[in-house]
């Protein structure tokens, strides 16, 4: 692929910034409101359900650091600047209950910073981690899956036609989360019968 000229880069940047401005003006605040509502009744997971086991944390400095940062913190208290990187890092390490609980803060932080990374929402294809991921996703309600889909649709719109955009990946990711939404909805309907 030929290297882009500075003018081409500026045009792509202008397109992206215009899209971002439109999203901020019309959809960011409603999305944050939807996230808060969707995760409103998720209880704090308990200190023992944040990151790994005490034995593992004693041997793993990274896990102990994440655990120590989040222990006793409500997700609302992690909406500050200091927590931004911790929330991103925690996505890989949180146990299922903690992942569900802090997901609201993670999403709100990203929307507020006008960033829409999709890495932590990609379908997991590592056989060793599929069960771990399924245990997390099975906790989500259809409303929680829906806000993830809305977030991913914004990421999709921002990237459409831009050089860095991988249409296949976002399409695959959206399909994956729509399927998770359908499963959560079916589970909820079965519980109500």
pLDDT in tens, 6-31: 887 788 888 888 888 888 888 899 99
pLDDT band for 131, please (50, 70, 90 cuts).
very high
Mean pLDDT across the stretch 133-154? 96
pLDDT value at 147 more than 80? yes
Q: How far apart are CA 9 and CA 15, in angstroms?
A: 10
Instruction: Output the pTM of the full model.
Output: 0.89
Burial (Cβ within 10 Å: 0-12, 13-18, ≥19) of residue 80: exposed
Higher pLDDT, 150 or 11: 150
Is 167 a residue whose pLDDT tops 60? no
pLDDT for the residue numbered 163: 59
For residue 119, give the DSSP letter: G
User: Which range in 6-15, 18-27, 103-112, 165-174 is most confidently predicted, on average pLDDT?
Assistant: 103-112
pLDDT band at 165 (very low <50, low <70, confident <90, very high): low
What are the structural domain ranges in the chain? Answer: 28-192
The stretches of the chain forming alpha helices (DSSP H) are: 6-26, 28-39, 54-59, 61-70, 83-90, 96-112, 130-137, 142-159, 167-192
Task: Determine the pLDDT at residue 4.
Answer: 73
> Residue 191: what pLDDT?
83
pLDDT score of 146:
98
State yes or no: pLDDT of 161 exceeds 80. no
Mean pLDDT, residues 158-187 taken together: 83
Band (55; pLDDT cuts 50, 70, 90)? very high
What's the mean per-residue pLDDT of the chain?
91
For residue 103, how many C-alpha atoms fall within 13 Å in the half-sphere facing its CB?
31
Helical segments of 71-140, H only: 83-90, 96-112, 130-137
What is the tens place of the pLDDT at every residue in 179-189?
A: 999 999 999 99
Task: Return the pLDDT at 158.
Answer: 83
Angle at 58 between CA 93 and CA 73, to 5 degrees: 50
């Amino acid at each position: 692929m030929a290297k882009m000229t500075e003018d081409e880069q500026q045009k792509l940047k202008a397109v992206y910034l215009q899209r971002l401005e439109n999203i901020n003006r019309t959809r960011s605040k409603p999305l944050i409101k939807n996230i808060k509502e969707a995760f409103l009744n998720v209880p704090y997971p308990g200190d023992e359900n944040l990151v790994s086991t005490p034995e593992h944390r004693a041997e793993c400095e990274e896990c102990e650091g994440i655990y120590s940062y989040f222990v006793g913190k409500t997700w609302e208290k992690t909406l500050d600047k200091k927590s931004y990187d911790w929330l991103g890092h925690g996505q890989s390490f949180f146990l299922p209950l903690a992942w569900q609980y802090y997901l609201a803060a993670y999403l709100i932080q990203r929307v507020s910073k006008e960033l829409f990374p999709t890495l932590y929402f990609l379908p997991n294809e590592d056989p060793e981690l599929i069960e771990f991921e399924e245990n997390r996703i099975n906790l989500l309600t259809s409303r929680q899956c829906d806000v993830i889909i809305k977030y991913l649709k914004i990421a999709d719109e921002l990237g459409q036609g831009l050089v860095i955009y991988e249409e296949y990946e976002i399409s695959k990711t959206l399909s994956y989360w729509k399927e998770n939404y359908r499963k959560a909805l079916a589970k909820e309907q079965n519980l109500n019968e």
